[in-house]
Amino acid sequence: MIFQKKKKAVPQSYQPVLEAAEVLELFSRMTMHQQTALLRLISRNLMIELDDDVYMGYEFEYNVDKAVILATPTDTVPDD
């Protein structure tokens, strides 16, 4: 038993995609801080349109404020 080979893990690209119910169940078990971290990842693909201006999601800082996630603009100046 000591020298038994471990099974190789299946690469993530070959693993089946989670079903909607599995995603919802996983999300419901996440803490607000975990949800905020996930939002930071998702925000890389997010565009926000406000008052005829378009902002990228990564231009915001995401923090937990009591029971909600608060997005505030970062202080970075865009390159022109």
pLDDT in tens, 61-76: 999 999 999 999 987 6
**Coil, strand or helix: which one is 54?**
strand
Q: What percent of the chain has pLDDT over 70?
A: 90
| b/e burial code for range 37-62 (CB count within 10 A of at least 16 → b) | eeebeebeeeeeeeeeeeeebebbeb
Instruction: Give the tens place of pLDDT for each residue, 41-54.
Output: 999 999 999 899 99
Calpha distance 59→47 (Å, rounded): 10
pLDDT at 78 over 60: no
Q: What is the pLDDT of residues 7-25, one digit of tens each?
A: 787 776 777 787 888 889 9
Show contacts of 9-16: CB within 8 Å, 24+ apart: none
pLDDT of residue 33: 94
What value does the mean pLDDT of the chain take? 86
